Amino acid sequence: MAKALFKIEPLDCVGCAKKIENQVKELDGIESVRVFPQLGKIRTTFDNQKVTIHQIEKAILLTGHSIHSKVSK
């Protein structure tokens, strides 16, 4: 399993965080996703044989939020 941490702008509403979480969870290979709204962070654990960092980024961008930085392990 691989891990990635994405930095986005802080979120004001729980609904926005849930929207991001649901969008990322739809990807095949996502083990877990956790959104920290006030910190503007998204932590994911995923099978990098099934899903790529680029696909996760695209899912986040589809919710209308931009990514400021990312760290993967």
Which tokens hold the place of 1? 């399993």
- The pLDDT assigned to 61 comes to 96
- The pLDDT assigned to 6 comes to 96
- The pLDDT assigned to 72 comes to 83
Q: Does the structure show a pLDDT above 80 at 73?
A: no
CATH number corresponding to 2-72 = 3.30.70.100
- The pLDDT assigned to 14 comes to 86
Would you list the domain boundaries of the chain?
Answer: 2-72
Task: Count how many Cα atoms sit within 13 Å of the Cα of residue 10 in the half-sphere of its side chain.
Answer: 3
Q: Say if pTM beats, i.e. exceeds, 0.85.
A: yes
Average pLDDT over residues 9-25: 91
